[in-house]
Amino acid sequence: MLIIYFPIIVSLFAIAFVFFLIVKINKAPVAKGKAIAITAAIQEGAISYLKRQYKTVSVVALVLFLGLWIFMGWVMAFGFLIGAFLSGLSGFIGMLVSTQTNTRVAEASRPSGRGSPDEAARRGLAQGLDLSFKGGLVTGLLVVSLGLLAVSGYYFLTGISGLIALGFGASLISVFARVGGGIYTKAADVGTDMVGKIEKNIPEDDPRNPGVIADQVGDNVGDCAGMAADIFETYSVAMVAAMILGALLYPKSPQFVLLPLMLGSISILTSIIGSFFVKLGKSKSIMGAMYKGVIVSIILSAVAFYFVISKMMAGQMVAANNLFLSCIVGLVIAAGMFVIVEYYTSKKYGPVKSIAQASETGHGTNIIRGIGIGMQSTAFPILLIASGIIISFGLAGIYGVALAVVSMLSISGIVVGVDAYGPITDNAGGIAEMSGMDPEVRKITDALDAVGNTTKAVTKGYAIASAGLAALVLFSAYTQEITNRLGTVAIFDLSNPKVIAGLLIGGLLPYLFASFLMGAVGKTAGKVVQEVRRQFREIKGLMEGTAKPEYGKCVDIVTKAAIKEMMIPALIPVVAPILVGVFLGPEALGGLLIGATVTGLFVGISMTTGGAAWDNAKKYIEEGNLGGKGSFAHQAAVTGDTVGDPYKDTAGPAINPMIKVLNIVALLIVAFLV
């Protein structure tokens, strides 16, 4: 009986802990003076954008809700509605907490007046880290607790059938959140930087720049709301896929359906415990502090998994030890992705330094080297994922692969906490700069922000790897569903021209999808550039700091453009499988799913990692290396960072939900195709 209610109890406990964290954050002092108005403008812009985005998406969701009710019944329709609502809610609350925490982090980062200057700065850094991580952890724990509550609650109410639609609802909102938020954040960032840093040679986040508020808003709607919806969807879909496989493969053994829920429950608790270990040590290593929490969570999860699996699977046809080892494979892939992506994106290692060095010879060589690093960065992650698939399949078949994905995603609570920490510190640095705080505060927020770039890249790599594995599990569920309906094993034979056609069309989709997003960012950034130039040209005294820019104009431009430009790319993964399935059949649709997953992994990893490497190469030079700020190398690095921005924060991350929506839609329509 406890097994049935345990996931719901843990979810509610985690939600209560989230409210405890919010109370602690709200007790922290708020920055005074100009910072209050700046924070209010950021929060107002973020809320306004998300309201308009959700209003637009709700129209699409309503049409799909009615269609599901008419053709598949109320269970599927309400599953879709619950998934969509909670995905959007997790992003909205995460964004609200982020915009409340940013100004408090700026205030907390003031060096303490006691002791030596070095010790005072260390205390300011420790306080800033503690508060920004708590803000990020709110989003992380909210994502996994709502995801687990939705999946377990709806399963216990209606059974396995409605879970596919629940995953579809979460996936749909995730695509819109990633696409719309990504276009917003990078169009504002690129447009603002191109005029401010390149043409006017003024600092990043300078209050004279008319685009800075739009840029700060973008960090929240893209990285907070977008990432929250993305991981909520990946987490929920992985759970759903593993449970469906358990039901299809072992129909007389409910333990195989319940096991993913138990693993998720355990890791929520270990993530909460691990969060208490995120403390700045004597080495002042911010990344080290983050890793302590993640490592503790992984180790505790691994130990707990052994006892849970041994208890639940005693006497079952699949050896409990093999299932446990499959879970360990998933945790190893998660840890491996952290190490690999950090190597390619951290300022400490060769790849980023090589881009910085290439900047000394010009803008073109910076771009060439950055693209090369992005391509190269796919090798080790793909080999790691391939090895994980082979090992976990060898241990326990496709169910073993499903458990590897679930265990990998089970630590999402603390992983998203590490990611959502990034936009909070980025905003804190902007608030410190714009409100004229002491330069020592900006130095501390810059140190926090520099690590935030790496943590965001690392968690995006983690998200893409898990998305690829989740898509594989969903494809297996699709195959198994066809097999059950036909009564014979479904075979996707490469001698079948329809399968080949499906592979090619599927391989095309991530490129087509990414091209729409890159084009949208470029077009919208161009509008921001024109507006920022106009204000510098027409508002007398703006450059001198005696006049105030019209921040709202740029916010309005990117808001309207993001809503308009997100529609076509977000609908591609919904429409494409329906068209291919209806006109070419289930064999071609199977090929499409594999083709999109394969190329999606490469496009997603190369874009997110390469973009982050470009960004940190710029920051490496800004620290005084290779001529420092204002040098020729710095100008080239700013250009590289401008190209890398939509790579890492718009197109790359949006590939995750895209490939899963394709698979979910295929699962939904398989009954009509076979």
Question: Rounded distance, CA 144 to CA 442, Å?
Answer: 33
Predicted pLDDT of residue 429: 86
* Residue type present at position 189: D
Question: Rounded distance, CA 191 to CA 199, Å?
Answer: 11
Q: Which residues in the chain come in under a pLDDT of 70?
A: 1-3, 112-117, 120, 315-318
* Residue type present at position 521: V
Residue 265, CA distances (Å) to 327, 340, 362, 532 in order: 14, 28, 51, 49
Given a contact cutoff of 8 angstroms between Cβ atoms, the answer to whether 24 and 91 are in contact is no
Question: CA 144, 268, 239, 168: dihedral to nearest 10 degrees?
Answer: 0
Given a contact cutoff of 8 angstroms between Cβ atoms, the answer to whether 7 and 260 are in contact is no
Predicted pLDDT of residue 93: 86
pTM above 0.95, yes or no: no
How would DSSP label each residue in 616-662? HHHHHHHTTGGG-TTSHHHHHHHHHHHHHHHIIIIIHHHHHHHHHHH
Question: Rounded distance, CA 174 to CA 169, Å?
Answer: 9
Question: Rounded distance, CA 633 to CA 611, Å?
Answer: 17
The radius of gyration of the chain's CA atoms, rounded to the nearest angstrom, is 24
Cβ neighbours around 489 below 10 Å, total: 9
Question: CA 198, 201, 203, 204: dihedral to nearest 10 degrees?
Answer: -20
* Residue type present at position 674: V
Residue with tokens 């790579």: 647
Predicted pLDDT of residue 538: 93
**Range 274-293 burial, b when 16+ CB lie within 10 A, else e:** bbebbebeeeeebbebbbbb
Predicted pLDDT of residue 515: 96
Predicted pLDDT of residue 317: 59
Q: How many alpha carbons fall within 13 Å on the CB side of residue 178?
A: 39
Predicted pLDDT of residue 200: 87
C-alpha angle with apex 620: 614 to 621, nearest 5 degrees? 95
Q: What is the DSSP letter of 253?
A: -
Tokens linked to 665? 């839609």
Q: What is the pLDDT of residues 238-289, one digit of tens each?
A: 899 899 999 988 888 889 999 999 999 999 999 999 999 999 888 888 888 9
Predicted pLDDT of residue 2: 61
Given a contact cutoff of 8 angstroms between Cβ atoms, the answer to whether 91 and 226 are in contact is yes
C-alpha angle with apex 613: 607 to 614, nearest 5 degrees? 90
Residue 252 φ then ψ, to 5°: -100, 5
